[in-house]
Amino acid sequence: MQARIVGAGRGLRWLAEGWRLFRAAPLGWLALVFAYWLMMTLVSLAPYVGVAAASVLVPAFSVGFLAAARAASHRGGVQLALLFDGFRQAPAAQLVLGVVYFACLALVLAASALADDGALARWMLTGGRPADEVLQSDEFVMALACAAALYTPVMMMFWFAPPLAAWHSVGAAKALFFSFFACLMNWRRGDRLTHARLAVLRSSDRAKRCRRFAGHVADLPAPRRAPADPLRELLRELPRRVRQRGMKRYEARLGGRFGSARRKNPS
């Protein structure tokens, strides 16, 4: 078994394909969602074990939704019986996955309770909404952030594990392992693409700032010429005048010598 590594843009196409599958049978999908919510609500209302039992059933029901999506992609009908496909194929593996899922959720809520004294955990387990001042407190926000960070690897483990166990006869432990590392490999690719795109954006931003700076420089008025300094002009003209006066004296002296020689030798 080999994990497929796809680009980050595949997520957008995946959402578009999901919308296309929903449009193929909207009433069937709505019936599945309503039946799922109704059954999970009834199970969670059972005293003492209701919430735990509902958590254990989540992986098996996820296989049912995937079976419905597969049927819709093959232009088949989305029937209510497909929702229980996970209970018919490898039920033992689905039960093990459900127990592991419940244990992971318990650990996540227990870790979040360290930040807000269990306000988030009580809300998730009993349905009792905390007071507004508790919801707006920094401790509750920290508990939400902690729960989201810890639930991310749990979601990675269970993203592909239920269909792997139901359709490919993979054991629960191997299914969790393959699912986690398949998500991790694609996350690394997406992280590299994100860094590459950020680098391109930063380089383009630098280029824009350089062009903007060049435009500002071009719009600046031309520098004015400094007023002439008389002393500097005199020092600049002095050597030229001295040279000119020296040349005139030299020419006059040469002219006098040639004149006297001509007078001595008239022939």
Interaxial angle between packed helices 10-24 and 58-73, expressed in degrees from 0 to 180 and rounded to the nearest 10:
80
Which pLDDT belongs to residue 116? 87
Question: In this structure, are residues 134 and 116 in contact, taking their beta carbons and an 8 Å threshold?
Answer: yes
- Pick the more confident residue, 255 or 195: 255
Interaxial angle between packed helices 91-116 and 119-126, expressed in degrees from 0 to 180 and rounded to the nearest 10:
140
Which band of pLDDT confidence, cut at 50, 70 and 90, is reported for residue 215?
A: low
Which band of pLDDT confidence, cut at 50, 70 and 90, is reported for residue 217?
A: very low
Question: In this structure, are residues 91 and 164 in contact, taking their beta carbons and an 8 Å threshold?
Answer: no
* Tens of pLDDT, residues 70-106: 998 888 888 889 999 999 988 999 999 999 999 999 9
Question: In this structure, are residues 79 and 28 in contact, taking their beta carbons and an 8 Å threshold?
Answer: yes
Angstrom CA distances, 180 to 3, 96, 186, 190, stand at: 11, 17, 10, 15
- Pick the more confident residue, 192 or 53: 53
pLDDT (mean) for 16-42: 92
- Pick the more confident residue, 227 or 163: 163
pLDDT (mean) for 22-40: 93
Rounded Cα distance, 83 and 264, in Å:
138
Query: Is a pLDDT exceeding 70 seen at residue 108?
Result: yes
Which band of pLDDT confidence, cut at 50, 70 and 90, is reported for residue 12?
A: confident
* Tens of pLDDT, residues 128-160: 888 888 888 888 999 999 999 999 999 999 999
Rounded Cα distance, 58 and 172, in Å:
14
